[in-house]
Amino acid sequence: MKNIVVIGAGTMGNGIAHTFAQTGFTVNLVDVSQSALDKGIATITKNLDRIISKGNMTEDQKANTLGNISTFTNLGDCAAKADLIVEAATENLDLKLKIFKQMDELAPEKCILATNTSSISITKIASVTNRPEKVIGMHFMNPVPIMKLVEIIKGYSTSKETFDEIYEMSKTLGKVPVEVNDYPGFVANRILMPMINEAIETLYNGVAGVEEIDTVMKLGMAHPMGPLQLADFIGLDVCLAILNVMHDGFKNPKYAPNPLLVNMVTAGKMGVKSGEGFYDYSESRKAEKVSKMFAK
Ligand SMILES: NC(=O)c1ccc[n+]([C@@H]2O[C@H](COP(=O)([O-])OP(=O)(O)OC[C@H]3O[C@@H](n4cnc5c(N)ncnc54)[C@H](O)[C@@H]3O)[C@@H](O)[C@H]2O)c1
C-alpha cells in the first residue's frame, strides 16, 4: 500500500492524514469544504511544529510529511490510484452511504474501503458497495498522531485478507490494532458514551457542576481528562450521533441521549470545534467553566 485517500479534513481526518503522511504514505486529503482543508493543513503544520519543539522531528521530516499530502475538494480527482480510502466525514448514516457508493464507483477494484465511523454499522455501509469483502472499520482515536489504539472492525462480509492487511498496516503506523466485531458503538464507544451521557445527566440533575464532575473523575478515578471535557474534545454532535446509533441499534433506553446534550447540539455548542461546549474555548484554548450551563 502506498497511495491513501482520506475523506474529511475535520478533527479526525487531518489527524489520520498526518499519521499516514508522517509514516511515508502518499496522502490525498478530500473535503467538500476548502476552508476545512485549509484548517486541516494548518492543524497538521501546528502539530508537526509541536513535535519539532519536543526534539522528536527535524525540519526536513516536517517538510517531507507536508510534501506527502495533497488536498482536493472532489474525490473523483484523486480516487483512481488509491490503494486504501479512509472515510472520516461527518457521523451521519445517509452521508456515509452516499460517500461509500461514490468510493465504490471511483476507486480501483483492489482498493480497500475503510471507515473511521464511531458507531455506524460497517455491514450496513458495506452493503451499498459491490465489494463488501473489502469494506472495514478503522476506528482511530483522537488525537490520532498521539493515540495508539485503532479498533479494527470486521463487518459481516469483511474478508480475512482485508482484515489481515489492515491489521498489519496499522502496526506500520505505530498503532496497536484491536480486533472487534460489528455491533453498535463497537467496544470503545459502547463503554465510553454511557459514561459521558451519565456525566451530562449528573450535571442536568444539578448534582454537581462541570468542573466538580470532571474533578471527581480525574482525581478519583485517575482519568487523564474528565468526561465533560472529553465530550468537548470529541465533539458534542459526534457524542449525540453515537448515542442515537446505540439507542436505535440496541432499542435500550439506557443509551437515550440526555436532553441537555440534545439542547446544546441544537444550539450549535459542539465543544472545542465550535469554541464552546461544557467549557469556553473562545479566548484561549484553556478550558473555562461556562457558567450559564448551570442555569436550569
Ligand atoms: N471526534 C472524535 O473524537 C472521533 C473519534 C473517533 C472517530 N470519529 C469519527 O470520525 C468521523 C469524523 O468525525 P470528526 O470528529 O472528524 O468530524 P468533524 O465534524 O470534525 O469533520 C467532518 C468533516 O467531514 C467533512 N465532510 C462532510 N461531508 C463530506 C463529504 N461528502 N465529502 C468529504 N468531506 C465531507 C466536513 O466538511 C468536515 O470537515 C465521524 O465518523 C466520527 O464519528 C470521531
Using CA positions, which residue lies closest to atom 18 of ligand 1?
10
Whole-number Å distance, alpha carbon 128 to ligand 1 midpoint, is 20
Q: Using CA atoms, how far apart are residues 262 and 240, in angstroms rounded to an integer?
A: 7
Mean pLDDT of 71-81: 97
Q: In this predicted model, which residue has the larger pLDDT, 131 or 283? A: 131
282 or 28, which is more confident? Answer: 28
Tell me the one-letter amino acid at 200: I
Please work out whether the CB of residue 8 comes within 6 Å of at least one atom of ligand 1.
yes
**Ligand 1: centre distance to CA 281 (Å):** 20
Whether 30 lines ligand 1, by a CB cut-off of 6 Å, is yes
> CA 138, CA 52: separation in Å to the nearest integer?
28
CA distances from 157 to 123, 136, 161, 243 (A): 7, 9, 11, 25
CA angle 162, 144, 119 (to 5 degrees): 60
Closest CA to 143 of 54, 40, 60: 40
Give me the phi and psi of 116, to 5 degrees please: -95, 15
Supply the Cα-derived Rg of the chain in whole angstroms: 19
Q: Is 272 in the pocket of ligand 1 (CB under 6 A)?
A: no
CATH number of 3-180: 3.40.50.720
- Give distance in angstroms: CA of 207 to centre of ligand 1: 33
Into which CATH architecture does domain 190-279 fall? Answer: Orthogonal Bundle (1.10)
pLDDT beyond 90 at 295:
no
Cα 88 to averaged position of ligand 1 atoms, centre (Å): 5
Mean pLDDT (the chain) is: 95
pLDDT digits (tens, 9 = 90+) for 124-158: 999 999 999 999 999 999 999 999 999 999 999 99
C-alpha grid cell, residue 177: 490494532
Residues catalogued as catalytic: 118, 139, 151, 189
Q: From the CB of 45, is ligand 1 less than 6 Å away?
A: no
Phi, psi for residue 141 in degrees, rounded to 5 = -110, 155
State residue 285's pLDDT score.
56
Q: In the chain, which residues fall in CATH 1.10.1040.10?
A: 190-279
Is 89's C-beta closer than 6 angstroms to any atom of ligand 1?
Answer: yes
Q: What is the pLDDT of residues 223-281, one digit of tens each?
A: 999 999 999 999 999 999 999 999 999 999 999 999 999 999 999 999 999 999 999 99
Q: What is the pLDDT of residue 121?
A: 96
Place of cell 497538521: 44
pLDDT of residue 161: 98
Q: Residues of CATH 3.40.50.720 domain(s) within the chain?
A: 3-180
Rounded alpha-carbon distances, angstroms, from residue 116 to 4, 42, 45, 103, 144: 14, 22, 22, 14, 11
Q: By three-state DSSP, how is residue 152 classified? A: strand
Task: Decide whether any atom of ligand 1 lies within 6 Å of the 196 Cβ.
Answer: no
The ligand 1 atom at the shortest distance from the C-alpha of residue 188 is 6
Segment 170-193, tens digit of pLDDT: 999 999 999 999 999 999 999 999
Tell which residue, 15, 14, 16, has the closest CA to residue 36: 14
